[in-house]
Structure 1
Amino acid sequence: MTKLISGSKFNRRTFLKSSAAVGGLFAMPAIISKRALASSGEINILMWSDYLPETFISAFEGATGIKVNYTGIGSNEELINKLKASKGRGFDIVSPTNNRALQWKALELLQKFDMTKVPLEAVNPAMAKIGSTDWAFTAGDTYWLPHIWGTEGMAWRTDLFQPDGTFPSYGDVWSDANAGKTMGRPHSMMLGAGLYMESIGELEPGSMWKAYESEDAMRPIWDKVTAWCVARKNNIKLFWNDADTQKNGLLNEGVIVGQTWDGPPLALKTAGEPVIYRAPKEGAMAWVDGMALPVGAANLDQVYEFIKYAFKPELAGEAIDHHGYNSPVLGADKFAGEAYALNFADAYPGEALNNLNPWPSEPQWYADTRTEYANRFESA
């Protein structure tokens, strides 16, 4: 889970400055009153496994009469493979990450949105622009809408581990001092390892971003990263691929520090567990997960009703307290609980927001080559 915004006018500072970050601390008002939709029916959603809390589903179903059939996923690869296998049928809305646009364009499994039915003014303009630039597969059209944004950084057990200073490091996952008590997702923890190697002089600064330029540029860099990771593989206790595995690692599997998404550990923190998440000194990886329309979507009226409700600040804000990520919906933070503001401040202290690494766009050759190196590491 990324180049957040393409083009020189938009950088991570612009993106975050215009984002609804930390706002007022208001309780959520009464859920939207019931009303019957003429279309009613159902909607089949293929989305990240922790993105639609039961409170959101119940509010949406109760207000619209539309039944939600929710299938959870744990990775972009899983999402792509399911849509390829079904030839874009079986689901009405899916949730690709913004940096996968090049892969989806080549697959031709998505259809454009009818933007006259989308209340785009409700979301952060910088994030909305991703859909009309990176995801404009045909001129003037939009194939992607922002839904949830977050980062990948470092989580740890506050009762069992303390970073060296205010900020943890990607290197903490690989450290001999934490051997047998760490976790990560193979391909992204290898990227984190590369950023750490840059910081200690074992790779030239900027190497991990240079690797996105071409396969010829990538291979010598990832050869070094893979060798470094293989030499330290025995220090890793757990590989994760979804939100539940991250939570279970921190609570039940003896993990004291790991490279994770922000949502799962912050959800644990909100629930009172001794867990914290923070951007590392090398910079957290930032991403935006969106909503896209498969070519075989059968319930289009229901899709646009779902988007309308997903873009309501009351519901988006209340969902924040359950999934732990962030919303592109303007004003959503005002309907999140007090814990959200505290978690956000803990996760991104000081200059952390200005030091985010937008995850670059991934052409298929990069994804395939990275998988090759990740498999080499896992099987070592």
Structure 2
Amino acid sequence: MSKLIFNRRRFLGTAAATGAALASPVYLRHASAQSGGEVNIWTYNDFVPEAFRKQFEADTGIKVNVRLVDDQGKQFNLLAAEQPNPTVDIMTVAGHRFLQFIESDLLAPMDTDRLSNWGKINPTFSEGDWATINGNKWGVPILSGMEVLSYNTELVSEEEAQTWDTLFSEKYKGQTAYIIQDMLSIVMLMKGYDGNFIEYANDHERASRDHGRGAAVHDRQEAAGAEVL
């Protein structure tokens, strides 16, 4: 994977890539469909592309059944209710719910020896601490995200749109809105720190220092009355 180097206080177009892992495919304990010529997947819409599904079925003769997920809580409850014989083989678990599924003994660790392309995955993801628990691999990220700034071109200049500082400026006080869960990454980028958090791997002292500064700015913004979506 190529390393992108850019000024962290500027946008790539109007978007700032944050690379945050959103979801991970994981394997289920005691799944009932594994030997029946079919594989059952619970995941979000379009996470299993139709072209991929058709190619997989043609290459392997295994039918892929996809059940769409719209809420992690409902998915957890259904999986727990189906124990010890769940009707799913692979599922997508959101990053903030990952440990809950593991600690509830609902998932089985991955056998990476059976995945011939495992070594081609960027180690940042394949060897991440979040997915390695008790020496086992439990999943791999399948989606990254970005924070995108939308602005009125009749009011905000092209120059102003090149920096996160505009979102926090006195000029636009009371005229901005944001999604609360994205705000820490935005503040980190605005302060010139790594919004991806990857740079902080194995450097807990630096992570604590920089993230603490970002969180302080975040708190001041909320206290100033910025509108939250």
For Structure 1 versus Structure 2, the TM-score category normalised by the shorter chain is: 0.5 to 0.7
Instruction: Return the offset for 1:53.
Output: 3.5
- Using the alignment, how far apart are the partners of 2:111 and 2:105 within structure 1? 17
Counterpart residue identity of residue 209, structure 1: H
Q: Is the 8 A contact 1:43 1:69 kept in 2?
A: yes
Q: 2:149 maps to what in 1? A: 155
Q: Is 1:167 the counterpart of 2:199 in the alignment? A: no
Q: Is 1:134 the counterpart of 2:130 in the alignment? A: yes
Change (3 A) 1:147 1:193: closer
- What is the correspondence of 1:68-83 to structure 2 with a 5 Å cutoff? 68-73=65-70, 78-79=71-72, 82-83=75-76
- Using the alignment, how far apart are the partners of 2:110 and 2:166 within structure 1? 42
Q: 1:121 maps to what in 2? A: 119
Change (3 A) 1:109 1:56: same
Change (3 A) 1:158 1:210: closer
Q: Is the 8 A contact 1:42 1:66 kept in 2?
A: yes
Q: 2:42 maps to what in 1? A: 45
Change (3 A) 1:179 1:60: farther
- What is the correspondence of 1:113-262 to structure 2 with a 5 Å cutoff? 113-119=110-116, 120-130=118-128, 133-139=129-135, 141-148=136-143, 150-156=144-150, 162-164=157-159, 167-169=162-164, 172=167, 177=172, 183-189=177-183, 191-192=184-185, 194-195=187-188, 209-210=211-212, 225-226=218-219, 228-229=221-222, 231-234=224-227, 239=229
Q: 2:52 maps to what in 1? A: 56
- Using the alignment, how far apart are the partners of 1:93 and 1:179 within structure 2? 45
Q: 2:14 maps to what in 1? A: none
Deviations 1:189-213 (A, max 9, x none): 2x146437857xxxxx9666248xx
Q: Is 1:91 the counterpart of 2:84 in the alignment? A: no
Give the match's secondary structure for 2:68: strand
Q: Of 92, 107, 112, which aligns to 2:109?
A: 112
Instruction: Return the offset for 1:111.
Output: 1.0
Instruction: Return the offset for 1:43.
Output: 1.5
- Using the alignment, how far apart are the partners of 2:101 and 2:219 within structure 1? 27
Output the TM-score relative to the length of structure 1: 0.36
Flag structure 1 segments of 5+ consecutive residues without an equivalent.
1-14, 19-37, 200-204, 212-217, 240-380
- Using the alignment, how far apart are the partners of 1:111 and 1:58 within structure 2? 26
- Using the alignment, how far apart are the partners of 2:168 and 2:139 within structure 1? 34
Instruction: Return the offset for 1:112.
Output: 0.9
Deviations 1:260-297 (A, max 9, x none): xxxxxxxxxxxxxxxxxxxxxxxxxxxxxxxxxxxxxx
- Using the alignment, how far apart are the partners of 2:142 and 2:99 within structure 1? 19
- Using the alignment, how far apart are the partners of 1:115 and 1:193 within structure 2? 35
Give the match's secondary structure for 1:116: helix
Change (3 A) 1:61 1:155: farther
Instruction: Return the offset for 1:169.
Output: 0.9
Counterpart residue identity of residue 95, structure 1: T
Change (3 A) 1:51 1:80: same
Counterpart residue identity of residue 179, structure 2: R
Q: Is the 8 A contact 2:41 2:88 kept in 1?
A: yes
Deviations 1:212-241 (A, max 9, x none): xxxxxx9xx56x73463254344x5xx3xx
- Using the alignment, how far apart are the partners of 2:189 and 2:124 within structure 1? 29
Give the match's secondary structure for 1:134: helix
Flag structure 2 segments of 5+ consecutive residues without an equivalent.
5-34, 193-206
Q: Is the 8 A contact 2:39 2:64 kept in 1?
A: yes
Counterpart residue identity of residue 168, structure 1: T
Q: Is the 8 A contact 2:147 2:182 kept in 1?
A: no
